[in-house]
Amino acid sequence: MSEISVIIPVYNTEKYLPRCIDSLLKQTFTDYEVILIDDGSTDNSLAVCQSYAAMDSRIIIIQSKHLGVGAVRNLGLDNAKGKYIMFCDSDDYVEPEWIEELHKAAANHPDSLCNCEYALTKPSADIVDHKTLPGLTKSQVIEKKAFFPLLFYGQVLHLWTRIFRKDIIKENNLRFHELSTEGEDMIFICDYLRFCNDFYFIHKCLYYWADNDSASITRGFSAYYYYYYDMKEIYLARKEHIAPEFMQDFYDYSFERFMRCIEFVWDIRNSDSRKTKIRYCQKMFRDSAFRETVKNVSAKACSRKRRMVLLTGSFRLYSLLIHI
């Protein structure tokens, strides 16, 4: 039985997959398994997985057929033998100490949600944006009530910068939402956080999130990428972790996220009919979660006139205001 299980959904990333797997095979911590789940790739991703599995017995291949990233990750959880669970995207890569540092943190802080820093990279450059917490100068425990500042600075959005205890996952039947188009990782993190006392942050950049414009199972643009009902589930999952002193900021932040649903639907790349778009937006305008943010949004985030129109629950009226 391995100490760590690293779960990697794979879909059409043959170009970047070797870099990802190579970075894992260079880990300073060696007691781990890599679970590669090919979700019906149409390129040579599966062949790449098989070539590496032939070289290293720690690599396990599972094949699925277009289940989607949530279901694929659940399949990984069902087959994981490790005491701890980690996740990686198939077109990203990691530092050699990624597993070792997070494992050490989890062992020393078993009741914390342990995290590391990450960086965004692009093919045309090296590190584009090193994501860290302002003022963080060393690895340290951070109170759970700081959830919103961590959210605001992009530190609780992703699976791959943290390590999870499998016993907590199994005992509480934590699963990924399988029908979500976006945010299933955020909801999983919020569900897991219920069973943690605080955060522990490692002040090291150990993960590289590659913006490759690839067809990865976790990438891709859609007019409904910011699907309202996914955003609602994310909103409700996050809300239970927001401390009172950050609630106003959270309402403003969530209001902006909900309004992005509208922007995406009316993007010129969306070929749906105007009638379909209006029907979708109308349902959103009348939903309780959206209306809650409208009622509580501050004047700096939403003008009085705009707020009054939104509270009517009529998207047709709002469309006249913004000239859609």
Taken in order 131, 248, 225, 10, the sign of the CA dihedral is positive
Residue whose C-alpha is closest to residue 249's, from 186, 306, 300: 300
Q: Would you say residue 320 has pLDDT above 90?
A: no
Q: Do residues 243 and 182 both lie within one domain?
A: no
Question: What is the pLDDT at residue 215?
Answer: 46
Question: Does one domain contain both 189 and 236?
Answer: no
How many other C-beta atoms are found inside a 10 Å radius of the C-beta of residue 300?
7
Q: Residue 26: which of 58, 48, 50, 62 has the closest Cα?
A: 58
3-state secondary structure of 320: helix
Residue 216 scores a pLDDT above 60: no
Q: Are residues 206 and 232 in the same domain?
A: no
Q: What pLDDT, on a 0 to 100 scale, did the predictor assign at position 228?
A: 80
Q: How far is CA 237 from CA 71, 75, 164, 257, in A?
A: 19, 23, 18, 14
Say if 218 falls within a structural domain.
no
Which stretches within 97-246 are classed as H helix? 98-108, 147-152, 166-171, 184-193, 228-239
Residues 6+ away with beta carbon under 8 Å from 313: 285, 286, 291
Residue 170 in any domain: the answer is: yes
Q: How confident is the model at residue 223 (pLDDT cuts 50, 70, 90)?
A: low
pLDDT surpassing 80 at residue 81: yes
Whether 189 and 263 map to the same domain: the answer is no
What are the residues whose beta carbons fall under 8 Å from the beta carbon of 110, sequence distance 6 or more? 165
Same domain, 175 and 89: yes
Compute φ and ψ for 74, nearest 5 degrees.
Answer: -65, -40
pLDDT, tens digit (0-9, with 9 covering 90-100), for 226-256: 578 888 999 999 999 999 999 999 999 999 9
Query: What confidence score (pLDDT) does residue 221 get?
Result: 44
Decide which of 289 and 136 is more confident.
289
pLDDT at site 183: 83
Q: Are 155 and 17 found together in one domain?
A: yes
Residue 324 has pLDDT above 90, yes or no: no
Q: Among the three residues 178, 210, 242, which one is the final residue of a domain in this structure?
A: 210
Q: What is the mean pLDDT of residues 216-234?
A: 67
pTM for the predicted model, two decimal places:
0.90
Question: What's the CATH code of the domain at 12?
Answer: 3.90.550.10
Distance between CA atoms of 123 and 54, rounded to whole angstroms? 29
In a domain, 108, yes or no: yes
Residues 158, 248: one domain? no
* Number of structural domains the chain divides into: 2
* In-domain check, residue 217: no
The answer as to whether 216 is a domain residue is no
124 pLDDT above the threshold of 80? no
% of the chain with per-residue pLDDT over 70:
94
The pLDDT score that the predictor gives to residue 231 is: 87
Residues 177 and 276 in one domain: no
Q: 219 falls in which pLDDT band (50, 70, 90)?
A: very low
On average, the pLDDT of the chain sits at 91
Q: How confident is the model at residue 73 (pLDDT cuts 50, 70, 90)?
A: very high
Residue 191 above 80 pLDDT?
yes
Residue 215 in any domain: the answer is no
Verify that 276 and 134 share a domain, yes or no: no
Inside any domain, residue 49: yes
- Has residue 8 got a pLDDT over 60? yes
Q: Are residues 57 and 98 in the same domain?
A: yes
pLDDT-derived band at 96, boundaries 50, 70, 90: very high
178: Cβ contacts below 8 Å, ≥ 6 apart: 67, 68, 70, 71, 74, 184
Instruction: Mark which of 210, 242, 260 sits at the end of a domain.
Output: 210
Domain that holds residue 233: 228-322
Query: What residues contact 293, with CB distance under 8 A and at least 6 apart?
Result: 235, 251, 254, 255, 258
Q: Is residue 290 located within the same domain as residue 157? A: no
In a domain, 221, yes or no: no
Give the range among 153-157, 199-203, 232-236 with minimum mean pLDDT: 153-157
- Is the CB of residue 183 less than 8 Å from the CB of residue 97? no
Around Cβ 317, how many Cβ atoms within 10 Å? 13
Q: Are residues 242 and 185 in the same domain?
A: no
- Whole-angstrom CA distances from 30 to 226, 247, 250, 317 are 39, 43, 41, 60
